[in-house]
Structure 1
């Protein structure tokens, strides 16, 4: 079976470790969901509040808003790294579109609405406005973060050697959504699944398709 060397090899030790870490993250999340109710798990995950974490997660969460992915795509286009840019943009677009479709189909309440309907209130991190709509599931920020992390690990040798950094950043962004009171753990896990699967699917499809632009440098 021939492989498209221009697209690299998805089965390198580094990428395998990345996906193993992702699977362990999902398993840990499911374990929390089994032992805690939706509301209890949310409150349990927010117990570590501190001024340092408030500052860190308030800014880290913005990496998942899509601007970082777009900025990297633009940088690669300027460097004429066409294939990288197309793979990343496609992964970002697919994960984002799927997340929005599910959000509008499920219409799950945000934590603020969920607890308010149960006669409770949750504390907001200073400077952060709690969203009060019904678009909690899944987390779009987390989907983008994991799509970006997965794409970087699959596309770039530098990130393959530092897969753990991409993984920690993606998990940190996902956790920030709970810490800031915008999502439940279930939303974050679903977003991470969308992000990883979207990026992997786009990568494999383009690798198999072998378009003309793949002749250009990665």
Structure 2
């Protein structure tokens, strides 16, 4: 048995254990809610309010970097890495059909890495490191947020655990890189919108 088959067996065993031992009607509803993008709209609005309220002069660059982080994580995972690895989702594995509860439609054929995990770990990493660099701490909870969303993807049957791990690693790399860009922008004094000195002189 080669290492790929060995990792696949471990991944399937973890997937089955989650679906057999960890399933519950209440969790079904909760996990479906956690992976729904609309659930997190209040969080995104909170982040927007927070950065404008406490670091207004950094808000524009922070929001631009947030959008860049999401765009790179999402495009890279969905359009580059998934076609590259071509790893089938659990719902396309005939050996697992008896363990799937069909809480949600299968979706695309390929699942590695998880785009949900990539996107949310990228945002969590960027937010945590960037806010920390400008003196805003205690945002550790963004890691819990990303972990819950990643686990929900396994729970509803969309991904194997290693799909989440791969997505988290890729997302962390993207978030770290864009946080370095934000820190550079912040330390260099670069502004997306230059002040109008002529107007300032007249007022």
TM-score per shorter chain, which class? 0.7 to 0.9
Q: CA shift at 1:136, angstroms? A: 0.6
Residue 135 in structure 1 maps to residue 110 in structure 2: yes
The CA RMSD measured in Å over matched residues stands at: 3.4
User: So what's the TM-score if we normalise by structure 2?
Assistant: 0.73
Contact 2:114 2:166 in 1 (8 A): yes
**Structure 1: which 5+ residue stretches go unaligned?**
1-32
- Which residue number in structure 2 is paired with residue 61 of structure 1? 35
**C-alpha distance in 1 between matches for 2:136 and 2:24:** 31
Please say if 1:204 is aligned against 2:180. Answer: yes
CA offsets per residue over residues 83-128 of structure 1, 9 Å max, x none?
A: 11011111111111110210122221110111x2x37433325xx3
Change (3 A) 1:119 1:204: closer
* Alignment correspondent of 2:101: 124
- Distance (whole Å) between structure 1 residues aligned to residue 175 and residue 25 of structure 2: 34
Aligned counterpart in structure 2 of residue 176 of structure 1, from 144, 147, 152: 152
- Asked if 1:85 corresponds to 2:32, the answer is no
Aligned pair count reads 179
Instruction: Indicate if the aligned counterparts of 2:32 and 2:156 stay in contact, CA closer than 8 A.
Output: yes
Cα displacement (A) at 1:52: 1.6
Alignment CA distance shift 1:168-1:192 (3 Å): same
Q: How many Å separate the matches in 2 of 1:196 and 1:89?
A: 15
Secondary structure (helix, strand or coil) at the match of 2:99 reads coil
2:23 to 49, 61, 82: 49
SS of match in other structure, 1:212: coil
Q: Are the structure 2 counterparts of residues 170 and 44 from structure 1 closer, same or farther at C-alpha, using a change threshold of 3 Å?
A: same
Q: Is the 8 A contact 1:140 1:191 kept in 2?
A: yes
Among 138, 162, 169, the alignment partner of 2:139 is 162
Structure possessing the higher radius of gyration over alpha carbons: 2
Cα distance in structure 1, aligned partners of 2:39 and 2:122? 12
- Tell me, yes or no, if the aligned pair for 2:88 and 2:109 is still in contact at 8 Å: yes
